[in-house]
Structure 1
Amino acid sequence: MSFDRLPPLAAMRAFDALCRLKDFSIAAHDLNVTEAAIHHQLRVLERFVGKRLVDRGGPGSSKTTFDLTPAGKQAAVWVTTGFHQLRKGIDAARLDGQPIVIGVPVSFGFCWLSPRLRALQEAFPSQQFELKAYYGGDPEGRLPDCDVRVVYGVGRAIDEDIALLMRLEAFPVCSTELIGGGTNLSYNDIKTIDLLRDRTPDMERSLPDWRPWFGRHGQNPDQFRYGAVASNTFLNIEAARRGQGIAMAFGVLVADDLAQGVLTRISDSVYDVHCSYWIAVARSAPAQAHAVAHWFLSQAAAH
């Protein structure tokens, strides 16, 4: 008898799917086999072990869910860990030298990600990255060819695992030099400065707008000076940095500039935004992509 003999791979694979998904029917769908095949492979594994691994319920039970027996729980630790390591190894071999593709909205890429690129590379020193900047929120569709992407929207995605990255609020900011370091400008002061406007494609309806902001504060929007309309949030923020006017900006995109004193917040009032930034990982992405998504989440939490 060989002491290193292993049970059939198909039986262990079926048991791994059962342990991960906790349901015979879902496990069968995951492996693209029939539910009867899952039951058969489980019986093969139980005969090999010599013990029941799954409590299937009483005779005639039609439940597809189940509980693991004590022996099953012990086996599950080793089998699921082994398959997880196998997947990681195959991913590493298949994707060796291939970059993880990260998709970000243009303004998020310029204002938030680019200052953190060194930190990203230091966190994953052997991993190559390819960055793709795109316009629009695209909250319900997957950006092609991206492993990880930042989504502006309401948290819906197709063929992706998605998690909240940052909640958003907006407020007016301008160059510190433009106003001599002052804060909480009066409305008469604001009337003397151009107001920068944003009409980013596919995001227009959810973006903060000057007219409703003034209306909420009992001001006549027509009494103020409006500058050029930009098709990109980053253009407005950059113009504000250079003293060209006041921008209504997402706080997360100007946080670094505020901390460094480049920009100044000129009002305590905020504009609530109904959309947020989300981090999404394609279900077909390599395992390392999930670690990259967790890096984004940790960076967002720290700031």
Structure 2
Amino acid sequence: MNWNDIPSLAALRAFEAAARHGSFSAAARDLNVTHAAIAQHVRALEDHFGQSLMQRDGRGMSVTPEGRALSDSLSEAFGLIATASHDLLDQSQTRAIRVAVTPSLAANWLMPRIGSFWNQHPEIEVELVPAMTLVDLRRDNIDVAIRYGKGGWAGVSSTPLMPAGHVAVAAPSYVEGRKIDCLSDLKGLRWLMDGTRSEERFWICANGIDLDEECVTMFPTGQLSREAARAGLGITVQPAPIAAPYIASGAFVELCAEQDSDIAYHILTRPEVISPTRDIFVKWLRSEATS
């Protein structure tokens, strides 16, 4: 399509409304613009095509034969656009909410709770998109993302969900009989680390432990380092909400917890999108986090 030969869509829309109503004033009210703006658009189209499109007819306006052919085609085209737009809006209101979340948080925090959301809102479908990499909410068509960090992400609305300070944990058998008052008491033990996060390394180093001088085993994911710790192979550092159910069940003992951390899980949404079902899910997330 050669757009250089096509007038502005604003002018075409103004002409279609004027032809449909047979009045510049009625078209202006329809499009919420001035009478002069409609008249200017119609004159611009007549100059572009080099022929008259509308003419005076008593107190109103009538469409010339050439103008009628154009207005009929425009009415059909704008009708197709309206139908396609309404169809997409209908789909967005009925499709599943897409939620991007880290695999660890999905498995250890969200999945044990999601049943209550289904019970409360059986009409709302939720599609989980677990991924370690950061997603682009617009490009990846994500409705809600739960992101771990200090906040301040550009182009999105961000709301803190829950604190996520670090906690060092291990299987009870691994530290049995050892007196532990602070993180530095863990020097000389095996550290089970994953390569996907750097914040826990800063916390460990800030407490006087140089990991370059320690026995460290690396894993590709936090889940693997966590399972190795459950097997009694060493110490792992996890976000507090991830470690909490393991501590509660007795699989882990809490050795040291970070105090007053500015790291948290945040709810990210697209500010330009209006979605009642998304807002219901976000409200439920916040309720679960506070409970």
TM-score (norm 2): 0.60
Q: Is the 8 A contact 1:183 1:264 kept in 2?
A: no
Larger Cα-atom Rg: 2
Match 2:265 to one of 247, 267, 277: 277
Q: Output the CA distance in 1 between the equivalents of 2:250 and 2:211.
A: 29
Q: Is the 8 A contact 1:241 1:262 kept in 2?
A: yes
The reply to whether residue 165 of structure 1 matches residue 161 of structure 2 is yes
The reply to whether residue 226 of structure 1 matches residue 216 of structure 2 is yes
Cα separation, partners in 2 of 1:135 and 1:273, compared to 1, 3 Å: farther
Match 1:120 to one of 88, 98, 117: 117
Cα separation, partners in 2 of 1:156 and 1:114, compared to 1, 3 Å: same
Match 2:200 to one of 198, 208, 218: 208
> One-letter code of the match for 2:268?
A
Counterparts of 1:170-209 in structure 2 under 5 Å? 170-180=166-176, 184=180, 190-191=186-187, 193-200=189-196, 203-204=197-198, 207-209=199-201
Q: Output the CA distance in 1 between the equivalents of 2:129 and 2:213.
A: 40
Q: Output the CA distance in 2 between the equivalents of 1:292 and 1:241.
A: 32
Alignment length (residue pairs): 210
Percent of paired sites with the same residue = 22
Q: Secondary structure of 1:257's partner? A: helix
Structure 1 residue 135 displacement after superposition = 1.3
Q: Is the 8 A contact 2:181 2:256 kept in 1?
A: yes
Match of 2:285 in 1: 296
Q: Output the CA distance in 2 between the equivalents of 1:222 and 1:125.
A: 51
> One-letter code of the match for 1:130?
E
Question: Cα RMSD over matched residues?
Answer: 3.5
Q: Output the CA distance in 2 between the equivalents of 1:165 and 1:241.
A: 27
> What are the superposed Cα offsets for residues 219-276 of structure 1, whole Å, 9 maximum, x if unpaired?
554553111x2232222222222222211111111111112222111125x2765543
Q: Output the CA distance in 2 between the equivalents of 1:177 and 1:297.
A: 36
Q: Secondary structure of 2:233's partner? A: coil
Structure 1 residue 119 displacement after superposition = 1.9
Unaligned runs of 5+ in 2: 1-27, 35-86
Q: Output the CA distance in 2 between the equivalents of 1:173 and 1:182.
A: 13
Unaligned runs of 5+ in 1: 1-33, 41-89
The reply to whether residue 253 of structure 1 matches residue 242 of structure 2 is yes
The reply to whether residue 101 of structure 1 matches residue 90 of structure 2 is no
Q: Output the CA distance in 1 between the equivalents of 2:138 and 2:177.
A: 43
Range that drifts further, 248-257 or 91-100: 91-100
Q: Is the 8 A contact 2:167 2:243 kept in 1?
A: no
Match of 1:87 in 2: none
Q: Is the 8 A contact 2:183 2:207 kept in 1?
A: no
